Structure 1
Amino acid sequence: MKNPAPNEHVLALVNYFALLPLVYFIPDLIAPITGANKLLHVATVLALIVPVISYCVMPIAVKLLSKKTV
């Protein structure tokens, strides 16, 4: 039997707390590399944050939360 999906509100909370440090620290770390070009800066930051959340944080969270609901 397949595990039920975790509560969407819990996933939103996990998403929020995972994004908080990424959005706080990564832009400052990337700023010296991208220089004054704001579009390049934002595009680079998003290119780093979105895959981390989509392919690392959320799959792990779903796996862990699905095990706890069984």
Structure 2
Amino acid sequence: MAKTVMFGSDTDEPVDRLLNVVRAVAAEAVVVPSAEHFGGKVPERVVRVCDVITVFPQYTYARSYAFPFLGEGA
């Protein structure tokens, strides 16, 4: 684990900020409790940069095959 990142409800552009951290530490994956931490849907633009692992339900949105399973506008 390279870093723990927490944003509050008042954080501007949390996905953009997360992507900045992912790129800064060259993270291969982000672990989140659930997709609800992204408002219910894992953003495609995060999965383009790194894998996203949800704890519940346990699932890995891997960069190589996740795109067909993500909704539009993710």
TM-score (norm 2): 0.25
More helix by percentage: 1
Relative to the length of structure 1, the TM-score reads 0.26
- State which structure, 1 or 2, has the greater radius of gyration over its C-alpha atoms: 1
- State the structure with bigger RCO (CA 8 A, min sep 6), 1 or 2: 1
